[in-house]
């Protein structure tokens, strides 16, 4: 045997030895996840209106926005193949299926003026089928596919969007509430505000680098809070579900753990990232360091006001306490290095934070450039959020690994096994109440700017086949076995 092979095998077996060999608690629920634009297709069928992603990818040169020039017009065609999706979920043995509702399937122009019954029927049929198979839907109201009409109104830059969103949420609660116990209002606002309104890489494609992201964050928080209050005031007593904002967070660790400057930079990176949405919802208001730094940087750049919208006390109170659980998306973590303050014009969020982040070179690299594997980071961030926010319950609503689509996807197995192990450590050793896990993703799907080049699915979808044939990968079989045995290894104790 080649010496390097021996080394590789030792690494694999020693890492397996770190896998938690206890059983998952009886109450823990395994699941899988996906999102409307990424899987449904049927983009203009049965009365569905145009979303910003439809618009973004129909009216621009496709390869300028998405690496392979593709879009979600058909995707996995789950609009037609949903029964097969339910069959696969049932076969896997999951108890949770996280999906999102396409706003423009329900309200074609986004306004409550006209409700599209065919859109309502699609989801009701899906929810009924899930329930009949003992699967609880975890429903995201907004996974990035804003109605184009509302984007023309200013989208997440216009505070009135919060009222439109609350009206849409009410219609969803009315029609789907009887089937749904877990609602997520908005998925990963850090991603959609940053990529959509500041970097311009996601729809609607704005490059408002000085303040688009903050205005979007402000409107997002108002929209989320108003939807939560609609549920709380009008539906909770009868429906008894939970509503929360979906966060994406990771461990921000000092590059040099002993360097106080790196420690401070790492803390700042956490507070101006994950906590920029976590604090308003769980604590009230933006983190103070964010308020102070953006005010100072705005002043330096000759703004006679701060670029971070200032909440009124009434708004702080409206938003605070509006999360009934903590849906957490976790993929990878960062090492954070202190640097001198970045200055330049125009000012922007990057300069406002002024840190450099990187991945440790020893962390395995996925097909997505931004994704490396550091399972311990999940445990670290869970502990942090548990301490700061003390939510009644965590669900890991996204976690997964991308490759180029191989059926024998050992990399995905290694990643999800290690991350589920970290979750088990958190539950059993740290006393963190994680009640569920919905792996990203059930099937290969449209991966935004990466098109169909990065595959996250447990199940392969043949995008060249009009039938969009689904094929189980090795990871699906592994996950099926974990669910059946509630154990990550061949044997548990």
Residues that bind ligand GBH (CB under 6 A): 35, 38, 187-188, 191, 195, 201, 248, 329, 331, 369-370, 398, 440, 447, 449, 456
What is the nearest approach in angstroms of ligand GBH to the Cβ of residue 88? 18
Closest distance to ligand GBH from the beta carbon of 144 (Å): 7
Of the two residues 201 and 283, which places its CB atom closer to ligand GBH in the complex?
Answer: 201
Give the pair of three-digit tokens for residue 367.
């097909």
Distance CA(373)–CA(366), nearest Å, equals 8
When the beta carbons of 318 and 381 are compared against ligand GBH, the nearer one is 381
- Any residues with CB less than 8 A from the CB of 239 and at least 6 apart, and which? 173, 177, 178, 180, 231
E strand or H helix at 315, and its extent?
A: helix 313-319
- Measured from the CB atom, the residue of 249 and 427 that comes closer to ligand GBH is 249
Helix (H) or strand (E) segment spanning residue 30: strand 29-33
Nearer to ligand GBH, 53 or 123 (CB): 53
* Neighbour count for residue 357 (Cβ, 10 Å): 18
Query: Who contacts 48 (Cβ-Cβ below 8 Å, separation ≥6)?
Result: 42, 102, 104, 105, 108, 116, 119
Least distance (Å) between residue 459 CB and ligand GBH: 15
> Does residue 133 have a cis peptide bond before it, meaning omega lies within 30 degrees of 0?
no
Rounded to a whole number of angstroms, the minimum distance from the CB of residue 343 to ligand GBH is: 23
- Work out the end-to-end distance of the chain between its first and last CA atoms, rounded to an integer number of angstroms: 34
Minimal distance in Å, beta carbon 10 to ligand GBH?
A: 31
The stretches of 231-284 forming alpha helices (DSSP H) are 236-239, 260-271, 274-282
With CB atoms as reference, the residue minimizing the distance to ligand GBH is 191
H/E stretch holding 136 reads: strand 136-142
Residues 6+ apart with CB under 8 A from 253: 266, 333, 334, 335, 336, 377, 380
Closer residue to ligand GBH, CB minimum distance, 259 or 365? 365
Q: How far is the CB of 264 from ligand GBH (least distance, A)?
A: 25
Q: Which is nearer to ligand GBH, 20 or 357 (CB)?
A: 357
Active site residues: 188, 398
């Amino acid at each position: 045997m080649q010496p390097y092979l021996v080394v590789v095998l030792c690494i694999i077996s020693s890492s397996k030895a770190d896998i938690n060999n206890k059983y998952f608690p009886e109450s823990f629920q395994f699941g899988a996840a996906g999102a409307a634009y990424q899987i449904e297709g049927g983009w203009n069928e049965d009365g569905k209106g145009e979303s910003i992603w439809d618009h973004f990818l129909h009216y621009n040169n496709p390869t300028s926005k998405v690496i392979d020039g593709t879009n979600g017009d058909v995707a996995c065609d789950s609009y037609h193949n949903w029964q097969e999706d339910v069959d696969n979920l049932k076969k896997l043995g999951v108890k949770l299926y996280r999906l999102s509702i396409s706003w423009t399937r329900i309200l074609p122009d986004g306004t409550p003026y006209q409700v599209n019954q065919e859109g309502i029927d699609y989801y009701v049929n899906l929810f009924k089928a899930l329930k009949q198979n003992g699967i609880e839907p975890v429903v995201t109201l907004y996974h990035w596919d804003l109605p184009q009409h509302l984007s023309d109104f200013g989208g997440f830059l216009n505070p009135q969007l919060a009222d439109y969103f609350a009206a849409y949420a009410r219609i969803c609660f009315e029609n789907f509430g009887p089937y749904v116990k877990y609602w997520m209002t908005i998925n990963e606002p850090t991603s959609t505000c940053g990529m959509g309104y500041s970097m311009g890489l996601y729809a609607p494609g704005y490059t408002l680098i000085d303040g688009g992201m903050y205005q979007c964050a402000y409107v997002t928080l108002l929209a989320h809070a108003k939807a939560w209050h609609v549920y709380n005031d009008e539906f909770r007593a009868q429906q008894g579900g939970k509503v929360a904002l979906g966060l994406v967070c990771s461990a921000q660790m000092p590059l040099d753990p002993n360097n106080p400057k790196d420690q401070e930079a790492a803390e700042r990176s956490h507070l101006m990232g994950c906590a920029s949405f976590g604090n308003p919802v769980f604590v009230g208001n933006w983190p103070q360091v964010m308020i102070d730094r953006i005010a100072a940087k705005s002043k330096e750049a000759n703004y006679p006001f701060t670029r971070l919208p200032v909440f009124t006390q009434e708004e702080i109170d409206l938003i605070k306490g509006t999360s009934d659980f903590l849906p957490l998306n976790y993929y990878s973590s960062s090492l954070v290095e202190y640097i001198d303050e970045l200055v330049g014009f125009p000012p922007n969020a990057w300069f406002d934070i002024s840190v450099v982040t990187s991945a440790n070179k020893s962390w395995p690299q996925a097909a997505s450039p931004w994704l490396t594997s550091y399972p311990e980071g999940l445990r670290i961030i869970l502990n942090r959020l548990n301490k700061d926010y003390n939510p009644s319950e965590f669900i890991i609503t996204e976690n997964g690994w991308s490759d180029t689509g191989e059926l024998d996807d050992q990399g995905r197995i290694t990643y999800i096994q290690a991350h589920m192990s970290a979750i088990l450590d958190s539950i059993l050793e740290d006393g963190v109440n994680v009640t569920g896990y919905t792996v990203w993703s059930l099937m290969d799907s449209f991966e935004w700017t990466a098109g169909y080049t990065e595959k996250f699915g447990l199940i392969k979808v043949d995008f060249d086949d009009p039938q969009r044939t689904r094929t189980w990968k090795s990871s699906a079989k592994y996950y099926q076995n974990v669910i059946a045995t509630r154990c990550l290894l061949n044997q548990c104790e």
